[in-house]
Amino acid sequence: MADLLSLFPAGSTFAEDRTLVIGGCRADNLAEEFGTPVLVVAEHALRARAREYVDTLAARWANSRVVFASKAFPCTAVQRVMVEEGLGLDVAGGGEILTAIKAGIDPGLIVLHGNAKSDEEIAIAVEHGVGLVVVDNSDDVDRLEATVPEGRTQDVLVRIIPGVTADTHAHVLTGHEGSKFGLAPADAAPLINRIEQSTRLRMQGLHVHVGSQILDVEPFAASVEPVARLGEFPIYDLGGGLGARYTWADNPPAISEYLDSLIGAAREHLPAEAQIIIEPGRSMVCESAATIYRVTTVKRGKVTFVAVDGGMGDNLEVALFEQRFEAGIVGRFEGPDHETVTVVGRHCESGDVLVDGVDLSAPAVGDLLAVPATGAYCFTMSNNYNGNRRIPVVFARDGQSRLVVRRETWDDLTARDVD
């Protein structure tokens, strides 16, 4: 069996009895204190990744900013870590603006996205003084012009479809021709003209985002030239999308390799004095967290199903785009009697599979099962399917654990009922 520990957050170790330790905290103690399933974030690993992004970009392009794509882990405590580490926040909608502000961000460092922004979201953005609104379509411009008060201006970027198709799942591609996000260059040109004439909007630059979980660097570099052809602007936001390591088969480019390629293309095509923004989400948070479940049933037959007390209620990545995860029994990652099993969740869907085909050491009811690389988009898309109570988030650091989001209560499930 490959080295499962290496997929857990940086700094994870084994205790003397081979129990998994994350952020200095034993997985069995975390399960005991906070219950299962529990999403555990290794705080040092998260902060180190944020710093690596900032430093690596600054070393290549001095006039640059890293904004964390909040959608990857839209939890106030995670946004607060990013703010404390000096990053801005990319938000997709009014709710993420409000959690970003609660996290302590200077609103001027927020970048707002959305292909279908509502009047209310535009109003929230303008009221709070969001730094950049990324215009996706001409309706965004109509709404902004109707909302920005006279005498004020709102800085905007225009989102461009670069026509680049990356090698990733179709559900997370965004920069291909025909994408619902942004405008093809020919359609963007007249809108840019219109914004340049506006007394309420200030045309600051262009935005591009190719997609997510991209494991090679070429598509990022290829997205720069189509944007550059639209003219010279003060800001170019080159999006996020770098892939993360979920399994030992994954070999994502290092941040330095990714930025060598992206900034190499920027040097070739963009004005030297422009500001460059990047918006990493998945690759910022994915590998800094893991989920700990309790095994509730082991059903042996043609296929051995190991069922746990979570599933697609806390991890939709598998069902949405067939993301592969790995898993191990806490205390027995390298234990005896390995068998190949399918780890499934507790939800009433045959698609509720966490890991299809993984070697576990003698799985039994009551064992703890740990799944690494659950920091990206798992919290985001957690849901109440089958009356699931959304799971807690715990920060682990230097042997201390801290609850940052509590588990939903049974009462929470009916809290919105008005009749």
Considering only residues 11, 94, 241, 253, which one is a binding residue for ligand PLP as defined by CB under 6 A? 241
Helix-helix angle 119-128:94-102, to 10 degrees: 30
Using the 8-state DSSP alphabet, how is residue 107 labeled?
G
Phi, psi of 27 (to 5 degrees): -60, -35
The residue from 26, 49, 143, 209 that contacts ligand PLP (CB under 6 A) is 209
Rule CB under 6 A: is residue 182 a binding residue for ligand PLP?
A: no
The count of residues interacting with ligand PLP (CB under 6 A) is 17
**348 catalytically annotated:** yes
**Position of minimal CB gap to ligand PLP:** 281
Using the contact rule CB under 6 A, the part of the chain among 30-38, 42-50, 65-73, 312-320 near ligand PLP is: 65-73
DSSP-assigned states of every residue in 291-343: EEEEEEEEE-SSS-EEEES-STTT--HHHHH------EETT-TT-SSEEEEEE
Residue of 79, 154, 283, 374 that binds ligand PLP (CB under 6 A):
283
Q: Binding of ligand PLP at residue 240 (CB under 6 A)? A: yes
In whole angstroms, what is the distance from residue 271 CA to residue 85 CA? 28
Crossing angle (nearest 10°) for helices 43-60 and 255-269: 30
CB of 14 to ligand PLP, least distance (A): 30
Q: CA gyration radius for the chain?
A: 22
Q: Residue 2 corresponds to which tokens in the numbers above?
A: 């490959």
Among 31, 49, 90, 96, binds ligand PLP (CB under 6 A): 90
Please report how close the Cβ of residue 164 comes to ligand PLP at its closest, in angstroms. Answer: 14
Q: Which is nearer to ligand PLP, 77 or 160 (CB)?
A: 160
Q: 10: how many CB neighbours lie within 10 A of its CB? A: 14
Q: Residue 343, CB half-sphere, CA atoms under 13 Å: how many?
A: 32
Q: Verify binding: residue 82, ligand PLP, rule CB under 6 A.
A: no
Indicate the residue among 131 and 240 with the shorter CB distance to ligand PLP.
240
Does residue 317 interact with ligand PLP by CB under 6 A?
no
Interface segment toward ligand PLP; rule CB under 6 A; list 35-43, 119-127, 220-228, 239-247: 239-247
CB atoms near residue 268 (< 10 Å): 11
Which stretch, 37-45, 280-288, 327-335, 398-406, contacts ligand PLP (CB under 6 A)?
280-288
Nearer to ligand PLP among residue 281 and residue 313 (C-beta): 281
Nearest-10 Cα torsion for 97, 102, 105, 106: 80
Could you tell me which stretch among 16-24, 64-72, 226-234, 262-270 binds ligand PLP (CB under 6 A)? 64-72
- Between the two ends of the chain, the Cα-to-Cα distance in Å is 54
Helices 94-102 and 76-84, packing angle to 10 deg: 60
Contact 203, 158 (CB under 8 A): yes
Could you please report the per-residue DSSP string of 115-174? SS--HHHHHHHHHHT-SEEEE-SHHHHHHHHHHSPTT--EEEEEEB------SS-GGGB-
* Smallest distance, ligand PLP to C-beta of residue 241, A: 4
**Minimum CB separation from ligand PLP for residue 171, in Å?**
10
With CA atoms as reference, report the closest residue to 124 among 134, 115, 112: 112
Stretch that binds ligand PLP, among 135-143, 235-243, 343-351, 357-365 (CB under 6 A): 235-243
Q: Does 390 bind ligand PLP (CB under 6 A)?
A: no
Residue with smaller CB distance to ligand PLP, 258 or 333: 258
**Residue 49 near ligand PLP by CB under 6 A:** no
Specify the residue, 28 or 260, whose C-beta has the smaller distance to ligand PLP: 260
The answer to whether 337 and 362 have CB atoms below 8 angstroms apart is yes
Instruction: Point out which span in 144-152, 216-224, 275-283, 304-312 binds ligand PLP (CB under 6 A).
Output: 275-283
Of the candidate residues 65, 200, 282, 332, the single one contacting ligand PLP (CB under 6 A)? 282
Q: Does 114 bind ligand PLP (CB under 6 A)?
A: no
Helix axes 119-128, 138-147, angle to 10 degrees: 50
Write out the catalytic residue numbers: 348
Binding region for ligand PLP (CB under 6 A)? 69, 71-72, 90, 113, 174, 209, 212, 239-242, 279-283
